[in-house]
A and B are shown apart, each in its own frame.
Chain A
Amino acid sequence: MNEQPKPKKQIGAPMNRVDARQKVTGAATYSAEYQLPNMTYAVLVGSTVTKGRLTGIDTKAAERAPGVLAVITHLNAPKPPSPKPEGKDPSQPQTQGNPLQVFNDDKIRFNDQPIAVVVADSWERARYAAGLVQAQYAKEAHQTNLEANADKAFLPTAAKKNPKHPMNDYQRGQVDAYKTGAVKLESEYVIPTEVHHPMELQAITAHWEAPDRLTLYDKTQGTLATRRDFAKQWNLPEENVKVIATYVGGAFGNALHSWPHESAAILAAKVVNRPVKLMLTREQMFTMVGYRPYTWQKLGMSATPDGKITGITHESIGQTSTYEEFTEATLAQTRMMYQSPNVTTRYRLAALDIGSPIWMRGPGEATGAFALESAMDEMAYLLNLDPLEFRLRNYTDEDPEKNKPWSTKFLKECYKLGADRIGWSKRQLKPGSLRDGDWLIGYGMGVGTFGAHRGAATVGAQLLPNGTVLLQCATTDIGPGTGTAMTQIAADTLGISPDKIKFELGNSSFPKAVTQGGSSTVNSVGPATQEACLALKDKLRTLAGAAFSTAKAEDITFEGGQTVMRNDANGKLPLQIGLRNNPSVKVSYSDILRQNGQQNVSATVEAKPGGEGQKYSMYSFSVHFAEVRVHQLTGEVRVSKLVSCADAGTIVNEKTAGNQMKGGAVGGIGMALMEHARIDDRFGRYVTKDFADYHVPVHADSPAVEVAFVNQPDPHVNALGTKGIGEIAIIGVAPAIANAVFNATGKRIRELPITPDKLI
């Protein structure tokens, strides 16, 4: 590519979303909203015990109920040829073991595990009949409590097998050096199970269009990962499986894995030989589509009296299921965020009789940051230092874990932006200093970081006869506005108006791309979009030369959506244009096509990372400042102000990016103050089953969140300069709130969520 994008016009602009009209009119079609002829409806029946074996299952009444087409259990389910798909995340093979196989055997591994699926000609009939299925079990003793099983915690198998695996113990300097430090602390922190709960219930419409051709309208963050899993399960060539996820109603990580209900719907569609629609209930969203795992952590820290950290030891035990080893980067931030000569981290898992967890927004880092950033606050108090000043004294100008320079790091700039906006100078070091009547006021901060990940992505670009450009990519958009950002990138690269560009996504038949997860979409698909558009322009240049007899490529440039041909010394511009003596002539893209007698011109380009990751440590950074009001009699906590500042490289669209940051902050309020999926360990069953028990922030819980971006391009991650936003939007929010609660009340809450009972 010998041409750089034209001066930025659309990139950075607060453009409205390209799919906004569909979303505000109800025209956006989600995975349970496709109308297919002969549609049928499936409802899952779940196990009422937590561990054991099915000894009998009576489906007769269900089978005879009106409208019922099939009742499928382990006794009659057709066995897929290869019933062991791999874990779904293609980029990081961290998950060991096999996702649960539905109706494969009589074994019960967790409560509400699907034991049958009922298919009927209406949803009401399927639901009614599902209630008629009777099962008998041989119960076994189960374990669902992490703390009771902490002594059985183990190093993940992947780490045991590979000494270089990031889940291995980490050591820099002396082991557990904090124990001999001048000023030291040692605290334990707990994050309970939290559930993603996107507003769209997990749903799939499965349709066998032929005995060997399967189409899935599925809620997934990765159309290609889903295609790969089910092609493998049914031993089909990948091109015979089509996965469509044009609109995804939120996911936050829970559509990064192939789940039992997807297998069940595909099986059911095979059995009834009609399309099957299966939508989970809100209760089922707790039990079988992942969650942020309950995690216990212990953090020890030491510092010199003048505020230099001398040692950190961070240990954690996260829960996983008995059939998969789910791991996440809980301890990553501790290894690289602060300058400490001695750092020890130890990560362990406890396998419990529950469904598998899956990455939930800001996955392990958000969990780990709660411990690290709370401990930073605790240490600042021990040192009698402003927590912001304490962080500045331990700021790192290069990555202390990998001993590499940062690709870019503008965290100090974030601190400044945020401190000014929250009014940090009003904060008093002594807890309980500020009050307004019965309300105690406090301020706190928390820092977040996440790797600026980039994967390979391919985008296809096509110039159509009417001068519009169609771009296609298999990536998905679960809410951040991927299609909008890509349209802006394409508009700048091609020099045409965004309304002449259409970016299609969410279809496994399109050119391949990364799964939407780990804040990597714009980092990966953005450059592919840019390069596909540049390749398209190269082809146009060739065509322009051919059509208009202009010899040299460098005489052809682009301006305002038109091809500009400079007249060379010999005046070789075509006579038919009649501009022989003009210094240059402009020809529209569509005229070039017409002159060449072509309907369209297209280019498909793969863009992938180079060696930049070897040279640099690449991370996004954020800081969150919270102002809270705590009622001194009731213990009610209100977040009255939240300021989130990010160093996320180039901001492609400040409107959608700002929205994404605000959303992460709201998620952090949930994490800090209300979210807790609670199991009654006697039965191994969730007692929180819906939004009445499992609270997420509503309008009244959410202040107007203020967002500020440093907006400095990172020259190393990609040519656009982006670093990613999705995760850093939530990482560090919960400790900012917990620290503000301490500042208001003097009470240090180390077990989330911070409910009133913990404050009074």
Chain B
Amino acid sequence: MNPEHDTPGSAHDEARRSFLKQSSLLTAMALVPGPLVQAASAELDEKVAAVFEKIPLKLEVNGIKHKLSVEPRTTLLDLLRENLNLTGTKKGCDYGQCGACTVHVDGQRVNSCLSFAVMHEGKKITTIEGLADGDKLHPMQEAFIKHDGFQCGYCTPGQIMSAVACIREGKADSEGEIREYMSGNICRCGAYSNIVAAIQEVKGGGQKV
């Protein structure tokens, strides 16, 4: 059974209702002229702001269920890094252009900087911290070590998450195909040759990824 982490006072069952209520309020405020919005927000004290800004969210990260209260503007990336202390997922551009923030959402690779956390209600997220089986590394992690598929290591979690998905998608049948389907993950250190070698080894090994 998975452990369950509760955030006090999140009232998760009311999530949808209160989200709708708040989002209509936000929509309404968006239609009000700017100065009025500023004046209104200026009067909000911290407590009101906290309640007003936050939305309940339930999701599962690396097998752990979380009940959270998050701002709608918080990206999945920032939620992982700043709220859940899962800093293995990296911020490299915030525009979905570099792939450093790649995670799996219900098994699919996703740029976590390009999606808001609240879009993932009820979903299962896997980050680099959740890829290994306890102390036993995932074959892709082992292959990256063996082939030295990194230098500084900053793009590495994203490369590995993307590489696993690339094989699962059936897009790792040739060197050319791997290069094409891994091109969303930039490595400025330029370890591309070694990353491709690692992926080819895992693919060729036929292990379940």
- List A residues at the B interface (Cβ < 8 Å): 16-17, 19-30, 32-33, 35, 61, 64-67, 122-124, 128, 132, 197-201, 247-252, 279, 281-282, 478-481, 655-656, 658-660, 662-667, 690-692, 696-700, 702-705
B167 in the interface (beta carbon within 8 A) = no
- List B residues at the A interface (Cβ < 8 Å): 38, 41-42, 44, 46, 49-50, 53, 71, 73-74, 78, 81-82, 85-95, 97-98, 100, 127-129, 131-132, 137, 141, 144-146, 148, 150-157, 160, 175, 178-180, 182-196
Is A249 in contact with B90, judged by CB distance below 8 angstroms? Answer: yes
Contacts A250-B189, A692-B97 given; indicate if A659 touches B153 (C-beta within 8 A): no
Is B98 in contact with A691, judged by CB distance below 8 angstroms? Answer: yes
Residues of chain B contacted by A33 (CB below 8 angstroms)? 81, 87
A534 to chain B: closest CB distance in Å? Answer: 29
B139 to chain A: closest CB distance in Å? Answer: 11
Residues of chain B contacted by A132 (CB below 8 angstroms)? 38
Q: Quick one: closest A residue to B85, CB to CB?
A: A35
Is B188 in contact with A197, judged by CB distance below 8 angstroms? Answer: yes
Residues of chain A contacted by B94 (CB below 8 angstroms)? 281-282
In the bound assembly, the distance between CA atoms of A200 and B129 in angstroms comes to: 18
Is A23 in contact with B188, judged by CB distance below 8 angstroms? Answer: no
Contacts A198-B152, A199-B188, A200-B154 given; indicate if A24 touches B127 (C-beta within 8 A): no
Residues of chain B contacted by A197 (CB below 8 angstroms)? 188
Residues of chain B contacted by A659 (CB below 8 angstroms)? 148, 151, 189, 191, 194
Residues of chain A contacted by B97 (CB below 8 angstroms)? 282, 690-692
Please name 27 pairs of A and B residues whose Cβ atoms are closer than 8 Å in the assembled complex, sorted by A: A16-B146, A26-B88, A26-B128, A65-B42, A66-B50, A122-B71, A124-B71, A124-B78, A197-B188, A198-B188, A249-B90, A249-B152, A250-B151, A250-B152, A250-B189, A282-B95, A656-B148, A659-B189, A660-B151, A662-B191, A662-B194, A665-B190, A666-B190, A691-B93, A699-B183, A703-B193, A705-B193
Is B195 in contact with A699, judged by CB distance below 8 angstroms? Answer: yes
Contacts A26-B89, A248-B152, A666-B190 given; indicate if A699 touches B185 (C-beta within 8 A): yes
Residues of chain A contacted by B179 (CB below 8 angstroms)? 699-700, 702
A594 to chain B: closest CB distance in Å? Answer: 31
Residues of chain B contacted by A26 (CB below 8 angstroms)? 86-89, 127-129, 157
Contacts A66-B49, A699-B195, A702-B179 given; indicate if A480 touches B190 (C-beta within 8 A): no
Contacts A249-B152, A250-B188 given; indicate if A199 touches B98 (C-beta within 8 A): yes
In the bound assembly, the distance between CA atoms of A128 and B38 in angstroms comes to: 12
> Most B CB atoms within 10 A — which of A65, A197, A201?
A201
Contacts A28-B153, A700-B180 given; indicate if A21 touches B137 (C-beta within 8 A): yes
In the bound assembly, the distance between CA atoms of A691 and B155 in angstroms comes to: 14
> Most B CB atoms within 10 A — which of A26, A28, A698, A704?
A26
Residues of chain B contacted by A65 (CB below 8 angstroms)? 41-42
B82 to chain A: closest CB distance in Å? Answer: 6
Is A479 in contact with B195, judged by CB distance below 8 angstroms? Answer: no
Contacts A16-B145, A17-B148 given; indicate if A663 touches B191 (C-beta within 8 A): yes
Is A699 in contact with B78, judged by CB distance below 8 angstroms? Answer: no
Contact check: which of B42, B129, B151 meets A61 at CB < 8 Å?
A: B42
In the bound assembly, the distance between CA atoms of A122 and B187 in angstroms comes to: 29
A240 to chain B: closest CB distance in Å? Answer: 28
Residues of chain B contacted by A27 (CB below 8 angstroms)? 88, 129
In the bound assembly, the distance between CA atoms of A33 and B82 in angstroms comes to: 8
A290 to chain B: closest CB distance in Å? Answer: 15
A274 to chain B: closest CB distance in Å? Answer: 15
Is A199 in contact with B151, judged by CB distance below 8 angstroms? Answer: no
Residues of chain A contacted by B50 (CB below 8 angstroms)? 66
Q: Quick one: closest A residue to B140, CB to CB?
A: A24
Residues of chain A contacted by B189 (CB below 8 angstroms)? 199, 250, 479, 659, 663
B103 to chain A: closest CB distance in Å? Answer: 11
In the bound assembly, the distance between CA atoms of A698 and B93 in angstroms comes to: 15
In the bound assembly, the distance between CA atoms of A30 and B81 in angstroms comes to: 12
Is B183 in contact with A698, judged by CB distance below 8 angstroms? Answer: yes
In the bound assembly, the distance between CA atoms of A658 and B128 in angstroms comes to: 26
B129 to chain A: closest CB distance in Å? Answer: 5
Q: Quick one: closest A residue to B83, CB to CB?
A: A122
Q: Quick one: closest B residue to A128, CB to CB?
A: B73
Contacts A24-B145, A66-B41 given; indicate if A250 touches B88 (C-beta within 8 A): no
Residues of chain A contacted by B151 (CB below 8 angstroms)? 250, 479-481, 656, 659-660, 663
A674 to chain B: closest CB distance in Å? Answer: 12
Residues of chain A contacted by B141 (CB below 8 angstroms)? 24-25
Residues of chain B contacted by A660 (CB below 8 angstroms)? 151
Contact check: which of B49, B71, B87, B190 meets A29 at CB < 8 Å?
A: B87
A687 to chain B: closest CB distance in Å? Answer: 16
Is A702 in contact with B193, judged by CB distance below 8 angstroms? Answer: yes
A254 to chain B: closest CB distance in Å? Answer: 11
A369 to chain B: closest CB distance in Å? Answer: 18
Residues of chain B contacted by A20 (CB below 8 angstroms)? 144-145, 148
In the bound assembly, the distance between CA atoms of A282 and B131 in angstroms comes to: 28
B209 to chain A: closest CB distance in Å? Answer: 14
Contact check: which of A247, A662, A697 meets B153 at CB < 8 Å?
A: A247
In the bound assembly, the distance between CA atoms of A705 and B197 in angstroms comes to: 12
Residues of chain B contacted by A704 (CB below 8 angstroms)? 175, 193, 196
A568 to chain B: closest CB distance in Å? Answer: 48
In the bound assembly, the distance between CA atoms of A200 and B141 in angstroms comes to: 20
Residues of chain A contacted by B160 (CB below 8 angstroms)? 24
Is B188 in contact with A662, judged by CB distance below 8 angstroms? Answer: no
In the bound assembly, the distance between CA atoms of A202 and B89 in angstroms comes to: 16
In the bound assembly, the distance between CA atoms of A155 and B38 in angstroms comes to: 52
Is B71 in contact with A24, judged by CB distance below 8 angstroms? Answer: no
Residues of chain A contacted by B182 (CB below 8 angstroms)? 699
Residues of chain B contacted by A690 (CB below 8 angstroms)? 93, 95, 97
Which 5 pairs, one residue from A and one from B, show the smallest C-beta to C-beta distance? Answer: A26-B88, A666-B190, A249-B154, A663-B190, A23-B153
A360 to chain B: closest CB distance in Å? Answer: 12
B165 to chain A: closest CB distance in Å? Answer: 14
B201 to chain A: closest CB distance in Å? Answer: 14
Contacts A30-B154, A199-B90, A481-B151 given; indicate if A123 touches B82 (C-beta within 8 A): yes
In the bound assembly, the distance between CA atoms of A17 and B78 in angstroms comes to: 29
In the bound assembly, the distance between CA atoms of A6 and B13 in angstroms comes to: 68
Contact check: which of B44, B82, B93, B146 meets A282 at CB < 8 Å?
A: B93
Residues of chain A contacted by B195 (CB below 8 angstroms)? 699
Residues of chain A contacted by B131 (CB below 8 angstroms)? 25
Residues of chain B contacted by A479 (CB below 8 angstroms)? 151-153, 189
Contacts A24-B137, A660-B151 given; indicate if A199 touches B92 (C-beta within 8 A): yes
In the bound assembly, the distance between CA atoms of A433 and B2 in angstroms comes to: 66
Residues of chain B contacted by A703 (CB below 8 angstroms)? 193
Q: Quick one: closest A residue to B156, CB to CB?
A: A23
Residues of chain B contacted by A250 (CB below 8 angstroms)? 151-152, 154, 188-189
Contact check: which of A122, A199, A667 meets B154 at CB < 8 Å?
A: A199
Residues of chain B contacted by A655 (CB below 8 angstroms)? 148
In the bound assembly, the distance between CA atoms of A197 and B38 in angstroms comes to: 36
Residues of chain A contacted by B155 (CB below 8 angstroms)? 199
Residues of chain B contacted by A662 (CB below 8 angstroms)? 190-194
Contacts A61-B38, A123-B82, A699-B192 given; indicate if A25 touches B178 (C-beta within 8 A): no
Q: Quick one: closest B residue to A127, CB to CB?
A: B73
Contacts A282-B95, A479-B189, A699-B180 given; indicate if A124 touches B152 (C-beta within 8 A): no
Q: Quick one: closest B residue to A15, CB to CB?
A: B148
> Most A CB atoms within 10 A — which of B49, B141, B154, B196?
B154
Q: A201-B92, A282-B92, A660-B151 provided; 5 other pairs, C-beta below 8 A?
A: A26-B129, A200-B152, A480-B151, A690-B93, A696-B186
B96 to chain A: closest CB distance in Å? Answer: 9
Is B81 in contact with A199, judged by CB distance below 8 angstroms? Answer: no
Residues of chain B contacted by A691 (CB below 8 angstroms)? 93, 95, 97-98, 186
Q: Quick one: closest A residue to B70, CB to CB?
A: A124
In the bound assembly, the distance between CA atoms of A665 and B44 in angstroms comes to: 55
In the bound assembly, the distance between CA atoms of A256 and B203 in angstroms comes to: 40
Q: Quick one: closest B residue to A697, CB to CB?
A: B190
